[in-house]
Amino acid sequence: MSCVMSSTIAQWSLSFSLVCLADLEFDYINPYDSASRINSVVLPEFIIQGVLCVFYLLTRHWFMSLLCLPYLFYNFQLYSKRQHLVDVTEIFNLLNWEKKKRLFKLAYIILNLFLTIFWLKLIVNMNNSMPSSQRFIIHVLDSTHLFVQPHVEQMIRSAIAEFRNQNSYEKPT
Amino acid sequence: MNTENRNFPARPPPPPFSSSPFASAPPPGVVPPQSGGPEAVGFRPPARPFTPSGPPMAPPAGVMRPAGQPPLVSQLPGSRPPPPSFPSTAYGPPGGGGGSFQRFPTPPPSGVPPPPQTLAGHLSPPMSFRPQQPMASVTMGPPPPSMTSGIPGGFASPSGPGFQQSMPGGPQPSYPGYPSNQVLQGPPKPFQTPSQGPPSAVSSYPPQTGGFAQHPGQQNMHPSYAPPPTSNVQGLVEDFNSLSLSNIPGSLEPGLDHTSFPRPLDGDVEPSSFAEAYPMNCHSRYLRLTTNAIPNSQSLASRWHLPLGAVVCPLAEAPEGEEVPLIDFGSSGIIRCRRCRTYVNPYVTFTDSGRKWRCNICSMLNDVPGEYFSHLDATGRRMDLDQRLELTKGSVEIIAPTEYMVRPPMPPIYFFLIDVSFSATKSGMLEVATQTIKSCLDNLPGYPRTQIGFITYDSTLHFYNMKSSLSQPQMMVVSDLDDIFVPLPDDLLVNLSESRNVVEAFLDSLPLMFQNNVNVESAFGPALKAAYMVMNQLGGKLLIFQNSLPSLGVGRLKLRGDDPRVYGTDKEYTLRVAEDTFYKQMAADCTKFQIGINVYAFSDKYTDIASLGTLAKYTGGQVYYYPGFQSSIHGDKLRHELARDLTRETAWESVMRIRCGKGIRFSSYHGNFMLRSTDLLALPAVDCDKAYAMQLTLEETLLTTQTVYFQVALLYTASCGERRIRVHTAVAPVVTDLGEMYRQADTGSIVSVYSRLAIEKTLSSKLDDARNVIQQKIVKALREYRNLNAVQHRLGSRLIYPESLKFLPLYGLAIGKSTPLQGGPADASLDERCAAGFTMMALPVKKLLKLLYPSLFRVDEWLLKPLADLDDLKDVVRRLPLAAESLDSRGLYIYDDGFRLVLWFGRMLSPDIAKNLLGADFAAELSRVTLQEQENGMSKKLMRLIKKVRENDPSYHPMCFLVRQGEQPREGFLLLRHLIEDQMGGSTSYVDWVLQLHRQIQQNA
């Protein structure tokens, strides 16, 4: 749950700064306001992304945390070079780069979010595909947890294993 | 139209018809006015006399028009019916679009002469106007069938004006205009086949001459030059220069005659043909395009590797008699396009019998306000054109009404932030500065509204209450640097005319007050903040006098420039950017509140100009740097430059925008300013010594228009308290041909953009990289040019370049050797580099070129001549190539780069001269001698010369240095290192540089 929340916040802060940049480009806002607004969400975004990564580690989602690492590293580098904040004097020269950077980050986080809720979706789909009498989901807790009827556990596991098998490739010997 | 004409006399301001330019013309309907007239007169500045005969088209089409055209036009009218449809066609340059093809100075395309020829032949055989006009060219020209079918047909048709119209508007292939030449002629190869003409001429240049061969075709540049019939083929060939480098394998063998390399010894030569072709463009001192031919497609633009853009100097000083006229629109309000906000200018057209006007930039049809209405005459031009300067001049100044103000126009405000620490008083800076300020009080612009204020600082801040009722200023000391507050709400910034006595008393006492100050600290950051707090109500100009590294409070800086190990590493560039974000932030805030900052720095030690200069950079200011200031040596320089800074006409709280036609867009700006939105430059205080470079990009893949218009608008508050808009308008033709772009290139403007790009590059990478970038750009451009011509000519080992760019390689070398970019850490101190960088970012084109390739001239012979006078400076100062070879040890030379004058005494110079000039201590070491006027004619003469050189350009005061040949290391430092054609240390010489370029051009060529 918290994963989804933090991804969403990061997503929001990125889109917010993107909107600010776009506004600036079309002259709806002056560079001073734009820069201060963007800068006010830069650090929250960095922190939340860090928290997300740590959270993945703690919950032993190795793959997801690995996926987060490059992003975290990049942020850390920007911060240590003190280039994380946009510079009001140069903002127009860097406008395109700042936009591109944020678009990439946004794509990254959306991918993240998607992967997080993927298995849940798989199961929900499976549930929906069954006749109504056999539906097994009792309650969806959040994007990563749900209550199901006890007898379907084996079925879900096999379905996931099957999906993984379908999506992995073994080198023929 | 006719009815209007009848109303004519009733027109409110009735300039009698006879006084109009038509007066001298034959009665209407008989000859030219209706035909040539409308176009010509519409565009002609009223002052220009009308020449009834000959070429009435002259003004718009310019002298450049191939000789065949004018006769054609002047003959046509007779047969042409009165033009009812003229209002739509009377429009100039686009109408001149016809002309715009032909107008190009360069080889009159062979396609052009034929039509006049044929026409003239059909029409009035006996009246062959130009005997030298190549009759033979009919055969050589474009396929005649299409010509004759196209043009005479249109000509003979009853709708006579259709001819004029069909030229710009008609299908291009049939139009004999330049660009379509290739199409008509088919592949360019055929040019080669005729044995006469340039191809052979070029290839026949014996390699051993080594000169840069001037292509005969170039003479076509001469407006009056009409090519002899046989040379018509030449016209089709690209004119280019070449530099024979046939001895490349043997490297620098004597065969390579470097004395013939092109050198800009005449200074900056602007392409004048362009200005003549468009007399209503603003003068090139205000706006200079990098090429006066805009590419019509993105693909063409991408092949043009040189920068595409402009250098704008909106307030450039105009010589007397050419001042920008001031216009008041009064009750009608400023006439602007509703859609694109373009100001009314000479290139707009009036239609619908004067009730509407068409914007030249976005072609929107706008209503003419009632107060501005004027009838059109039969030719479609306004009756009151002579009184409307905004419709005849490319540069005007418009008085802006209150809609253009967000607050009442501010008074001129000068605020001084003066370091009074130990070093400032010891060097004498404080005294010189206060004296100069005092002497300038009378000349500060904007009397009686001018306001003035002072803060001084060492480890504490000192505020001065200068209320007019006081007899002596009151000093208030604030020592809490962490929490700055302003001790007095007002009276720190006072009206000069009211508090004049107090201000003078203050300036007199200031040096005395601190003469025994032993405080060496500098609380610069807090002082800047305090000044900001005092000024942010109104804005103004802040002059900072800084003597040491800021050491206390916010914005304190570290001694970071002393570490040579950083050079050559990836971190090198960080030394050249502001260390503390405080400076950028302050600069941004100052711009927001209309505060422009000029930084004067005086220390002989490291002061981190990189950080301090940031303040000037983003507030549209300037950096003055006097390393190791001593009042006895640098006093004069400071006095002059400070006085200039205080008294020159300044535009306050200004913003600048440059508009251009549809399809193109200015995408990047370079110089000292801050961008307030994507295309709006915020310039809190701007003056005549500041120029801004900008680059444009094509947004649409294909431009459909014939011409592109540019309009620079600077909205500012004049010192007198008037809000004004200065508008410069220019037009440039759109071309389809890369060769044409090269022909119309403007080296000065290109070099200006390049040097700014290079300096910007040093802020994010190594010096080496920055130099390489420029070199690569030049190589690419010349390679493209070579490819363009390689098909037609056997070029052999020649470096070829267009005539217009013949100095580009040399200036490219000069950029690499200029102070901000040269060599390694040992070649220039970090502060010098940064200061020069900030300065060069703001320099106008001519000054920059002089700085890059300074003048060097010999004066001893002139001094010895008894009767020689200063009448003609040009005769005296015959510039020499900047190479050690130019220096004769028996001579006395002056080196002048606009910032410094170096007097070089040859070792064998006759002692008389030295004695006459230097007085008794002529034998002493020259570093301790200052040049003073002696009681003899020769010395007086020299001083007069120096004075004259200085007066030529008052924006900086060149300081005089004396050096004797062989006096090392001073000689090397002052002069030899700046002889840019020589090889010094790790740098390349001119010859090597050219060889290097040539090699690189041939790779992957």
Q: What interface predicted TM-score (ipTM) does this complex get?
A: 0.75
CB B585 to CB A88 under 8 A?
A: yes
Number of other residues whose CB lies within 10 A of the CB of residue A77: 11
Lowest-pLDDT range of B194-198, B699-703, B988-992: B194-198
Residue B327 CA to residue B396 CA, distance in Å, equals 7
Residue B778 near residue B808, CB atoms below 8 Å: yes
Residue B458 CA to residue B194 CA, distance in Å, equals 80
**B325 versus B251: which is more confidently predicted?**
B325
Question: How buried is B404 (Cβ within 10 angstroms: 0-12 exposed, 13-18 middle, 19+ buried)?
Answer: middle
In this model, does residue B126 exceed pLDDT 60? no
State residue B544's pLDDT score: 95
State residue B869's pLDDT score: 59
**B546 versus B123: which is more confidently predicted?**
B546
- Hey, which of B164-168, B237-241, B310-314, B886-890 has the most confident mean pLDDT? B310-314
Number of other residues whose CB lies within 10 A of the CB of residue A116: 18
Residues from chain B that touch A42, judged by Cβ atoms under 8 A, are none
**pLDDT level of residue A1 (50, 70, 90 thresholds):** low
Lowest-pLDDT range of B37-51, B643-657, B827-841: B37-51
- Hey, which of A98-107, B271-280, B792-801 has the most confident mean pLDDT? A98-107
Residue B516 CA to residue B421 CA, distance in Å, equals 10
Q: Which two tokens stand for residue B651?
A: 């535009």
Residue B604 near residue B628, CB atoms below 8 Å: yes
Q: Which of residues 582-641 of B touch A (CB under 8 A)?
A: 584-585, 587-588, 592, 618
* Nearest CB partner across the interface for B587, out of A89, A92, A93: A89
pTM value is 0.76
State residue B99's pLDDT score: 36
Residues whose CB is less than 8 angstroms from the CB of residue B775 and which lie 6 or more positions away in sequence, other chains included: B812, B816, B996, B997, B1000
Residues whose CB is less than 8 angstroms from the CB of residue A16 and which lie 6 or more positions away in sequence, other chains included: A37, A38, A41
Q: B358 by DSSP, 3-state: which?
A: strand
Residue A7 CA to residue B828 CA, distance in Å, equals 51
Q: What is the mean pLDDT of chain A?
A: 82
DSSP class of residue B321 equals: T
- Hey, which of B161-165, B555-559, B623-627, B630-634 has the most confident mean pLDDT? B623-627
DSSP class of residue A52 equals: H
Chain A interface includes B668 (CB < 8 A): yes
**Nearest C-alpha in A relative to B583:** A89
Residue B583 near residue B614, CB atoms below 8 Å: yes
Residue type, B227: P
DSSP class of residue B297 equals: B
A9–chain B nearest CA distance, Å = 28
Q: What is the pLDDT of residues B458-511, one digit of tens each?
A: 999 999 999 989 888 999 999 989 888 888 878 899 999 999 999 999 999 999
Residue B710 CA to residue B395 CA, distance in Å, equals 12
Residue B211 CA to residue B277 CA, distance in Å, equals 32
Give the alpha-carbon dihedral of B34, B37, B41, B44, to 10 degrees. Answer: 170
**pLDDT level of residue B7 (50, 70, 90 thresholds):** very low
Q: Which two tokens stand for residue B275?
A: 């200005």
Region B732-752: mean pLDDT is 91
**B456 versus A169: which is more confidently predicted?**
B456
Chain A interface includes B675 (CB < 8 A): yes
B587–chain A nearest CA distance, Å = 8
Residues whose CB is less than 8 angstroms from the CB of residue B747 and which lie 6 or more positions away in sequence, other chains included: B804, B805, B806, B807, B808, B811
In this model, does residue B419 exceed pLDDT 90? yes
CB B618 to CB A30 under 8 A?
A: no
Of the candidates A50, A44, A41, A47, which has an alpha carbon nearest to the alpha carbon of residue A21? A41
A140–chain B nearest CA distance, Å = 49
Residue B740 near residue B291, CB atoms below 8 Å: no
CB B584 to CB A82 under 8 A?
A: no
In this model, does residue B873 exceed pLDDT 80? no
In this model, does residue B528 exceed pLDDT 70? yes
Residue bearing tokens 């004797």:
B964
CB A27 to CB B674 under 8 A?
A: no
Of the candidates B748, B749, B756, B902, which has an alpha carbon nearest to the alpha carbon of residue B821? B756
Pairing between β-strand B707-717 and β-strand B309-312 as defined by DSSP bridges: unpaired
Q: B837 by DSSP, 3-state: which?
A: helix
Lowest-pLDDT range of B58-62, B347-351, B560-564, B949-953: B58-62
Residue B937's Cα: distance from chain center in Å?
A: 39
In this model, does residue B71 exceed pLDDT 50? no
* Nearest CB partner across the interface for B678, out of A32, A88, A92: A92
State residue A134's pLDDT score: 74
Region B5-14: mean pLDDT is 40
Residue B80 CA to residue B96 CA, distance in Å, equals 19
**B111 versus B994: which is more confidently predicted?**
B994
**pLDDT level of residue A142 (50, 70, 90 thresholds):** low
State residue B845's pLDDT score: 93
Residue B674 near residue B588, CB atoms below 8 Å: yes
State residue B337's pLDDT score: 92
Helix (H) or strand (E) holding B760: helix B747-762
In this model, does residue B285 exceed pLDDT 80? yes
Q: Which domains does chain B have, with CATH numbers?
A: 240-269+746-853+984-1004 (1.20.120.730), 277-317+649-737 (2.60.40.1670), 333-389 (2.30.30.380), 413-648 (3.40.50.410), 854-979 (3.40.20.10)
CB A25 to CB B676 under 8 A?
A: no
Number of other residues whose CB lies within 10 A of the CB of residue A73: 11
Number of other residues whose CB lies within 10 A of the CB of residue B262: 17
Distances (CA, A) of B423 to B426, B477, B624: 5, 20, 17
In this model, does residue B154 exceed pLDDT 80? no
**pLDDT level of residue A51 (50, 70, 90 thresholds):** confident
Alpha helices by DSSP H, listed for A26-152, are 31-58, 62-80, 95-116, 118-129
State residue B150's pLDDT score: 36
How many helices (H) and strands (E) are present in chain B, helices listed first?
Answer: 34, 30
Of the candidates B884, B865, B885, which has an alpha carbon nearest to the alpha carbon of residue B876? B865
**Nearest C-alpha in B relative to A22:** B678
Q: What is the pLDDT of residues B677-718, one digit of tens each?
A: 888 999 999 999 999 999 999 988 888 888 999 999 999 999
**pLDDT level of residue B991 (50, 70, 90 thresholds):** confident
What is the percent of chain B with per-residue pLDDT over 90, rounded to a whole number?
35
Residue bearing tokens 């009036």:
B350
CB B592 to CB A32 under 8 A?
A: yes
Residues from chain B that touch A92, judged by Cβ atoms under 8 A, are 675, 677-678
State residue B569's pLDDT score: 77
Backbone angles phi, psi at B299, to 5 degrees: -70, -35
Residue B853 CA to residue B1002 CA, distance in Å, equals 27
Distances (CA, A) of B268 to B99, B757, B807, B860: 28, 20, 10, 26
Residues from chain A that touch B618, judged by Cβ atoms under 8 A, are 89
Residues whose CB is less than 8 angstroms from the CB of residue B91 and which lie 6 or more positions away in sequence, other chains included: B42, B349, B380
Pairing between β-strand B395-399 and β-strand B723-735 as defined by DSSP bridges: antiparallel
CB A89 to CB B592 under 8 A?
A: no
Chain A interface includes B764 (CB < 8 A): no
Helix (H) or strand (E) holding B997: helix B990-1002
Chain B interface includes A25 (CB < 8 A): yes
Residue B321 CA to residue B817 CA, distance in Å, equals 38
In this model, does residue B153 exceed pLDDT 50? no
Residue B690 near residue B842, CB atoms below 8 Å: yes
A78–chain B nearest CA distance, Å = 15
Residues from chain B that touch A27, judged by Cβ atoms under 8 A, are 677-678, 680
Distances (CA, A) of B501 to B438, B471, B492: 11, 7, 15
Of the candidates B644, B723, B642, B640, which has an alpha carbon nearest to the alpha carbon of residue B317? B644
In this model, does residue B826 exceed pLDDT 80? no
Q: B962 by DSSP, 3-state: which?
A: strand
A39–chain B nearest CA distance, Å = 13
Residues from chain B that touch A91, judged by Cβ atoms under 8 A, are 675
Residue B381's Cα: distance from chain center in Å?
A: 32
State residue A87's pLDDT score: 86
A14–chain B nearest CA distance, Å = 22
Q: What is the mean pLDDT of chain B?
A: 75
Residue type, B91: Y
In this model, does residue B111 exceed pLDDT 60? no
Helix (H) or strand (E) holding B418: strand B413-419
Give the alpha-carbon dihedral of B130, B132, B137, B141, to 10 degrees. Answer: -60
State residue A3's pLDDT score: 66
Question: How buried is B698 (Cβ within 10 angstroms: 0-12 exposed, 13-18 middle, 19+ buried)?
Answer: buried
Distances (CA, A) of B771 to B652, B824, B948: 36, 12, 35
What is the percent of chain B with per-residue pLDDT over 70, rounded to a whole number?
71
DSSP class of residue B13 equals: S
CB A82 to CB B678 under 8 A?
A: no
Q: What is the pLDDT of residues B766-785, one digit of tens each?
A: 888 999 999 999 999 988 88
Residues from chain B that touch A82, judged by Cβ atoms under 8 A, are 581
Question: How buried is B331 (Cβ within 10 angstroms: 0-12 exposed, 13-18 middle, 19+ buried)?
Answer: exposed
Chain A interface includes B19 (CB < 8 A): no
Residue B772 CA to residue B190 CA, distance in Å, equals 39
In this model, does residue B407 exceed pLDDT 80? yes
Residue B656 near residue B671, CB atoms below 8 Å: no
Residues from chain B that touch A32, judged by Cβ atoms under 8 A, are 588, 592
Chain B interface includes A92 (CB < 8 A): yes
CB B584 to CB A87 under 8 A?
A: yes
State residue B25's pLDDT score: 38
Residues whose CB is less than 8 angstroms from the CB of residue B18 and which lie 6 or more positions away in sequence, other chains included: none
* Nearest CB partner across the interface for A89, out of B618, B668, B677: B618
Residue type, B250: G
